[in-house]
């Protein structure tokens, strides 16, 4: 084991593109000015980071507001389990810096391209294979500095684990896709990397596997990811050496050497995924019934049943209705590089009206990424 | 009660009662002043206010009806769970309705395959884990008040507990919320899946202290009970050593299920009441609980022992039996009764700071306590930096009372200065509303008000709580500086 002293060393290995404090202040001011100007002139803005998730949502018409140069790690002390960085910081840099200290982002955010930024990851609120076990992006957000649609610079939450002063605006920003504010600085809780990890494979049909997953879910097993496809279940175990070893004995199956599987699943690069066809993502209670065969051609199941990817020629309404009737929701994703888009599940009238009022409270002129999430937001 | 407020009260009752009566049975409406006293405060008993009346609805339709009536007549509504809040959050407002949610105490469903429970907001926190226990599952948030407090109150305050370092706060352990708006509309936030379409409004509703809507149904997550749990108690000769030990455990990649710290006064008070074998000569003790699979826990236990030993622990007790673990925890949980024996009143703070500042802030709190001539005891959730300094005082002595509250403000200022917050889990309510002015700028407060407006344009839900008006802040800031200068000019800044 590494010595404690070595682990406590605060690291701030500066990247050449990191901003100095003065540069950051100037850039913040420039971004504030740009939003304020857009507010005064009621001119819509399209907020961009690294462009890696531009397909996740609808296209936005507006002047570009780029935060990709607003980058750098502001504060990271491993013993605090907190990192604060600017929104334009590339995700891979953040992950590398954390890995150096034996830590990681617990929600395993997808990158999709090497240009993925922290701001984009939080604005989209996407989480990877570890989601059901460690939590979602929103679970790790501790605080943000942001610009609202009036061009006001605001700070919510902080760098501490527990904070109930005022409404939890920082978490609200997660998944709001920039429609409520421009994210500048983001503080996240981080977790220690597991000391040991292994992947096991088991075979069975969906019913058998769902039963198994439900049973395991009620046991204290260190499962950190699952993937089911073509009657094969892959299970990742993470924990201490002896913890994963004893869990492996109780779940059975065979250990496989798999360095790519989870990375591929997270990045939608598993052979199942093709960018030629639109793909459905169904988010469901994990033990929701099997999706009827007439609704899909091919499926891949993650998150112990809670995230199901489908290729389908069925009527859109039927898929949406099935997801809703089974306690979840559906989104339709087109990852075409040139003009990809995502359509999200329709909201109830009451919820949409409330969401519109909330949007208005942050962005009264409707200039921040209008329409990106829903046409009316 | 002056005549004019009495008349006003009668007028309001005359217009409200017939409307309420259309759907609410008479026995669910309390108007007698003697009976209303039961609802005049929460566990922060220094602040009290009688409501116009109390309604104890039993169905969602009844809640909707109350809201529609109050909305039409523009009468404020304050929700109340079990009234264990520590910040006057559910204290009634004058001429307002107190909506007691205690009859929403059904556990509708425990879904074993999805590991969730669908419950009413009036269900007691501990009752959820009790109901799930036969299936080897439990509800993770475990505030010390868990025998009494309601899950609705937990959601409204985003309550934490000793295990939230590893298992998260209430916000991390709920999936779906059904609430009634001030207009009487029923809206569902989140869903039974792990995420939902649109904005993350479960996050905004959690910790909103009854200002945005009335919770009527909650779907919580249940977790499997760990296979093994080990508890240890380590003593340290200085606060610095204890603070370093906390940082080192986390820095070594170990997330204990609980990591608590108690200072010497706390240790002595607890030991006197509980005789749990706490080392009374130590400057601080750390209680560390590890859980997981048997193999995992044994690995981590030896690492933690090594870290504590390397960092000068003067004594380490490891519970070998369940009884010994219970003894260590029971003593920690008896901290508040133990402190209650030291002074007539006890003002519990809830500031949270980055862990690295623990030792420094602890020292400064002790300095401040000396300057204000009051005793402060620290018993707190060290793992997540959530301090609970308790200021001991006697409220019958006006000067002590004033000094206690001023010292409280100074402690919270200190927490903000080191990058922390004025509240980690107890909430703001009315008790800490002035200190919100220290933590947030005017534009930030206005953004909060705008958000509130999106839910409650007429400002009828729990008005005057949680988010101060700018006028209130202006007044407080003026008064605050004034107080800081007058009696203790040398205390302004460290
Ligand atoms: C001895 C003691 C120990 C404590 N320990 C802890 C601890 O370890 N951790 C911790 O976090 N807290 C602790 N608390 C504080 C308190 O128990 C929590 O804040 C708890 O969550 C309050 O729940 P309640 O049901 O009593 O809510 P109440 O006090 O009745 O109400 C609290 C707030 O919630 C709102 N509310 C209640 N029900 C609803 C509803 N259905 N819809 C909308 N709003 C609602 C109220 O308006 C109010 O603003 C402790 C309190 C005591 C007395």
Q: Confidence band (pLDDT; 50, 70, 90) for B2?
A: low
Query: Which two tokens mark A235?
Result: 């299970």
The domain boundary, picked from B100, B122, B138, lies at: B100
- CB of B194 within 8 Å of a chain A CB? The answer is yes
Q: How far apart are CA A106 and CA B451, in angstroms?
A: 30
The domain boundary, picked from B284, B303, B337, lies at: B337
Q: Is B3 exposed, middle or buried (0-12, 13-18, 19+ CB in 10 A)?
A: exposed
Tens digit of pLDDT for each residue in A67-86? 999 999 999 989 899 999 99
The best mutation among B127, B156, B432 to test binding of ligand 1, ranked by most ligand atoms within 8 Å of the C-beta, falls on B156
Report CB contact under 8 Å: B447, A148: yes
The total number of structural domains that make up chain A:
2
Note whether residue B197 is domain-resident: yes
Q: Which residues of chain B make contact with A221, given a CB cutoff of 8 A?
A: 224, 293
In the predicted model, is pLDDT for residue B436 greater than 90? yes
Tens digit of pLDDT for each residue in B117-162? 999 999 999 999 999 999 999 999 999 899 999 999 999 999 999 8
Using H for helix, E for strand and C for coil, what is the string for A135-153?
CCHHHHEEEEEEECCCCCE
User: Mean pLDDT in chain A?
Assistant: 93
Query: Which two tokens mark B356?
Result: 């690295």
Tens digit of pLDDT for each residue in B163-220? 999 999 999 999 999 999 999 999 999 999 999 999 999 999 999 999 999 999 999 9
The total number of structural domains that make up chain B:
4
Q: What is the mean pLDDT of residues B273-299?
A: 92
Note whether residue A341 is domain-resident: no
Q: Which residues of chain B make contact with A176, given a CB cutoff of 8 A?
A: 199-200
- CB of B429 within 8 Å of a chain A CB? The answer is no
The domain boundary, picked from A161, A192, A223, lies at: A192
Percent of all residues in chain A with a pLDDT value above 90, rounded to a whole number:
89
No. of H helices and E strands in chain A? 12, 18
CA B353 to ligand 1 centroid distance, Å = 22
Closest-CA distance, B153 to chain A, in angstroms, reads 13
Q: Confidence band (pLDDT; 50, 70, 90) for B334?
A: confident
pLDDT at residue A3, rounded to an integer = 33
CATH number at residue B330: 3.30.70.2190
Closest CA to A237 of A208, A193, A196, A202: A196
- CB burial of B84-123 (b: ≥16 within 10 Å; e: otherwise) equals bbbbbbbbbbebbbbbbbbebbebeebbbbbbbbbbbbbb
The domain boundary, picked from A192, A219, A245, lies at: A192
Report CB contact under 8 Å: B253, A102: yes
Q: How far apart are CA B251 and CA A327, in angstroms?
A: 40
pLDDT at residue A274, rounded to an integer = 84
Note whether residue B249 is domain-resident: yes
Closest C-alpha residue for ligand 1 atom 44: B210
Closest CA to B460 of B62, B137, B50, B95: B95
CA B81 to ligand 1 centroid distance, Å = 7
Q: What is the mean pLDDT of residues A236-252?
A: 93
Q: Confidence band (pLDDT; 50, 70, 90) for B492?
A: very low
Q: Are B419 and B375 in contact (CB under 8 A)?
A: no
CATH number at residue B452: 3.30.70.2740
| DSSP structural state of residue B397 | S
Tens digit of pLDDT for each residue in A4-28? 333 333 444 456 678 899 999 999 9
Q: What is the mean pLDDT of residues A351-371?
A: 98
Q: Are A368 and A38 in contact (CB under 8 A)?
A: no
Domain residues for A121?
Answer: 4-192
CATH number at residue A109: 3.30.465.10
More confident residue, B334 or B61: B61
The domain boundary, picked from B100, B130, B146, lies at: B100
Query: Which two tokens mark B223?
Result: 């977790």
Tens digit of pLDDT for each residue in B26-35? 999 999 999 9
Tens digit of pLDDT for each residue in B24-64? 999 999 999 999 999 999 999 989 999 999 999 999 999 99
Note whether residue A366 is domain-resident: no
pLDDT at residue A133, rounded to an integer = 96
Nearest CA in chain A to B357: A80
Note whether residue A347 is domain-resident: no
Of B111, B187, B192, the CB nearest to A354: B187
Continuous segment of H or E residues that includes residue A55 = none
Closest-CA distance, A241 to chain B, in angstroms, reads 8
Query: Which two tokens mark B239?
Result: 């606060």
Torsion angle, alpha carbons of B405, B410, B416, B421, to 10: -20
Pocket of ligand 1 (CB under 6 A): B 42-43, 78-86, 89-90, 101, 121, 143-145, 149-150, 152-154, 156-157, 159-161, 209-210, 214-215, 336, 425-426, 462
Give Cα A266 distance to the centre of its chain.
10
Concatenated DSSP letters for A269-331?
A: -STT--SSS-EEEEE--TTPPPPPGGG-SEEEEEGGGTEEEEE--S-HHHHHHHHHHTT-EEE
| Predicted complex ipTM exceeds 0.90 | yes
Which residue is it, tokens 């979840």? A328
User: Mean pLDDT in chain B?
Assistant: 93
Closest CA to B232 of B245, B214, B217: B245
Report CB contact under 8 Å: B198, A138: no
Closest C-alpha residue for ligand 1 atom 8: B143
pLDDT at residue B481, rounded to an integer = 53
Q: What is the mean pLDDT of residues B334-357?
A: 90
Q: What is the mean pLDDT of residues A102-131?
A: 97
Q: Which atom of ligand 1 is nearest to the CA of B462?
A: 47
Q: Are residues B470 and B364 in the same domain?
A: yes
In the predicted model, is pLDDT for residue B493 greater than 50? no
Pairing of strands B97-100, B77-80: parallel
Query: Which two tokens mark B88?
Result: 């006057």
Q: Are residues B383 and B417 in the same domain?
A: yes
Q: Confidence band (pLDDT; 50, 70, 90) for A259?
A: confident
Q: What is the mean pLDDT of residues A109-129?
A: 97
Closest-CA distance, A330 to chain B, in angstroms, reads 8
Q: Are residues B329 and B348 in the same domain?
A: no
Closest C-alpha residue for ligand 1 atom 21: B154
pLDDT at residue A10, rounded to an integer = 42
Q: Are A104 and A190 in contact (CB under 8 A)?
A: yes
CA atoms within 13 A on the CB side of A203: 0
Q: Are A362 and A149 in contact (CB under 8 A)?
A: yes
Report CB contact under 8 Å: B425, A164: yes
CA atoms within 13 A on the CB side of B324: 14
Report CB contact under 8 Å: A361, B420: no
Nearest CA in chain B to A243: B296
Q: Are residues A160 and A207 in the same domain?
A: no
Angle, vertex CA A133, rays to CA A132 and CA A136, nearest 5? 55
Closest-CA distance, B384 to chain A, in angstroms, reads 6
The best mutation among B41, B57, B84 to test binding of ligand 1, ranked by most ligand atoms within 8 Å of the C-beta, falls on B84
- CB of B198 within 8 Å of a chain A CB? The answer is yes
Q: What is the mean pLDDT of residues A153-158?
A: 96
pLDDT at residue A2, rounded to an integer = 33
Q: What is the mean pLDDT of residues B379-383?
A: 88
pLDDT at residue B86, rounded to an integer = 95
Q: Are residues A32 and A46 in the same domain?
A: yes
Mutate which of B205, B253, B417, B434 to disrupt the A interface (most A C-beta within 10 Å)? B253
Closest CA to A181 of A351, A35, A72, A41: A35
Q: Confidence band (pLDDT; 50, 70, 90) for B296?
A: confident
Dihedral sign for Cα B459, B460, B461, B462, please. Answer: positive
CA A122 to ligand 1 centroid distance, Å = 30
Contacts 24+ apart (CB under 8 A), B401-404: B401/B345, B403/B372, B403/B373, B403/B374, B404/B345, B404/B347, B404/B372, B404/B374
CA A341 to ligand 1 centroid distance, Å = 43
Tens digit of pLDDT for each residue in B246-256? 989 988 889 99
pLDDT at residue A275, rounded to an integer = 73
In the predicted model, is pLDDT for residue B479 greater than 70? no
Q: What is the mean pLDDT of residues A316-323?
A: 97
Report CB contact under 8 Å: A355, B199: yes
Domain residues for B458?
Answer: 339-479
pLDDT at residue B484, rounded to an integer = 40
- CB of B376 within 8 Å of a chain A CB? The answer is no
Q: Are residues B23 and B132 in the same domain?
A: no
Closest C-alpha residue for ligand 1 atom 6: B143
């Amino acid at each position: 084991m590494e010595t404690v002293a070595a682990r406590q060393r605060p690291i701030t290995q500066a990247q050449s593109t990191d901003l100095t404090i003065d540069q950051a202040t100037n850039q913040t001011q420039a971004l504030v000015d740009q939003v304020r100007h857009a507010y005064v002139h009621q001119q819509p803005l399209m907020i961009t980071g690294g462009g890696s998730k531009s397909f996740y949502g609808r296209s936005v018409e507006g002047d570009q507001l780029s935060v990709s140069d607003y980058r750098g790690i502001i504060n990271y002390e491993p013993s605090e389990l907190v990192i604060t960085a600017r929104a334009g910081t590339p995700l891979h840099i953040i992950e590398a810096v954390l890995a150096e200290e034996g830590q990681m982002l617990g929600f395993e955010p997808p990158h999709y391209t090497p240009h993925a930024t922290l701001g984009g990851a939080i604005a989209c609120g996407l989480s990877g294979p570890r989601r059901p076990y460690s939590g979602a992006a929103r679970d790790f957000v501790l605080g943000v500095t942001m610009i609202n649609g009036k061009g006001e610079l605001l700070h919510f939450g902080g760098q501490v684990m527990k904070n109930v002063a005022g409404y939890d605006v920082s978490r609200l920003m997660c998944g709001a896709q920039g429609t409520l504010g421009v994210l500048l600085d983001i503080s996240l809780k981080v977790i220690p990397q597991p000391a040991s990890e292994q992947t096991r494979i088991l075979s069975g049909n969906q019913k058998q596997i769902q039963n198994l997953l439900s049973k395991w879910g009620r046991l204290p097993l260190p499962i950190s990811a699952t993937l089911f496809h073509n009657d094969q279940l892959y299970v990742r175990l993470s924990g201490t050496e002896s913890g994963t070893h004893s869990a492996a004995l109780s779940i059975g199956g065979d250990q496989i050497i798999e360095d790519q599987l989870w990375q591929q699943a997270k990045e939608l690069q598993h052979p199942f995924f093709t960018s030629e066809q639109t793909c459905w993502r169904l988010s469901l209670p994990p033990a929701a019934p099997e999706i009827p065969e007439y609704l899909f051609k091919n499926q891949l199941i993650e998150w112990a049943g809670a995230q199901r990817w489908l290729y389908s020629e069925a009527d859109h309404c039927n898929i949406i209705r099935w997801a809703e009737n089974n306690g979840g929701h559906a989104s339709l994703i087109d990852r075409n590089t040139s003009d990809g888009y995502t359509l999200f599940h329709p909201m109830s009238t009451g919820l949409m009206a409330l969401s519109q009022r909330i949007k208005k409270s942050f962005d009264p002129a409707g200039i921040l990424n209008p329409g990106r999430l829903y046409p009316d937001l | 009660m002056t005549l004019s407020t009495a008349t006003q009260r009668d007028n309001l009752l005359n217009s409200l009662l017939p409307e309420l009566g259309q759907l609410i049975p008479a026995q669910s409406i309390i108007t007698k002043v003697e009976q209303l006293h039961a609802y005049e405060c929460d566990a922060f008993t220094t602040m009290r206010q009688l409501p116009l009346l109390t309604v104890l609805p039993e169905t969602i339709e009844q809640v909707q009806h109350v809201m529609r009536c109050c909305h039409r007549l523009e009468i404020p509504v304050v929700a109340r769970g079990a009234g264990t809040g520590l910040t006057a959050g559910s204290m009634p407002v004058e001429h307002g309705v107190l909506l007691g949610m205690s009859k929403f105490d059904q556990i509708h469903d425990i879904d074993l395959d999805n590991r969730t429970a669908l419950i009413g907001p009036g269900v007691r926190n501990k009752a959820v884990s009790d109901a799930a226990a036969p299936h080897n599952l439990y509800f993770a948030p475990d505030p010390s008040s868990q025998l009494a407090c309601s899950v609705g109150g937990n959601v409204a305050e985003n309550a934490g507990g000793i295990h939230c370092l590893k298992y998260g706060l209430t916000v991390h352990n709920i999936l779906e919320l059904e609430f009634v708006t001030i207009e009487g509309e029923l809206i569902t936030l989140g869903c039974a899946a792990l995420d939902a379409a649109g904005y993350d409004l479960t996050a905004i509703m959690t910790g909103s202290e009854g200002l945005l809507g009335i919770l009527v149904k909650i779907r919580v997550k249940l977790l499997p009970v760990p296979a093994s749990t080990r508890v240890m108690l380590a003593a340290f000769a200085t606060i610095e050593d204890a603070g370093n030990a906390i940082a080192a455990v986390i820095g070594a990649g170990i997330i204990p299920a609980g990591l608590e710290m108690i200072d010497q006064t706390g240790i002595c008070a607890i030991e006197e009441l509980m005789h749990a074998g706490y080392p009374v000569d130590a400057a601080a003790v750390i209680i560390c609980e590890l859980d997981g699979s048997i193999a995992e826990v044994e690995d981590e236990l030896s690492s933690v022992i090594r870290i504590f030993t390397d960092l000068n622990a003067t004594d380490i007790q490891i519970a070998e039996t369940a009884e010994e673990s219970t003894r260590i925890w029971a003593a920690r949980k008896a901290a508040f009764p133990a402190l209650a024996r030291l002074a007539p009143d006890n003002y519990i703070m809830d500031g949270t700071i980055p862990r690295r500042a623990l030792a420094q802030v602890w020292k400064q709190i002790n300095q401040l306590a000396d300057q204000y001539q009051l005793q402060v005891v620290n018993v707190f959730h060290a793992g997540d930096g959530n301090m609970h300094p308790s200021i001991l005082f006697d409220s019958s002595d006006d000067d002590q009372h004033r000094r206690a509250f001023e010292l409280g403000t100074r402690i919270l200022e200190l927490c903000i200065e080191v990058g922390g917050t004025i509240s980690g889990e107890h909430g703001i309510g009315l008790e800490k509303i002035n200190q919100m002015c220290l933590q947030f700028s005017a534009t930030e407060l206005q953004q909060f008000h705008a958000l509130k407006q999106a839910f409650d344009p007429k400002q009828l839900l729990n008005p005057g709580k949680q988010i101060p008006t700018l006028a209130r802040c202006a007044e407080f800031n003026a008064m605050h500086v004034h107080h800081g200068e007058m009696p203790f000019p040398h205390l302004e800044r460290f």
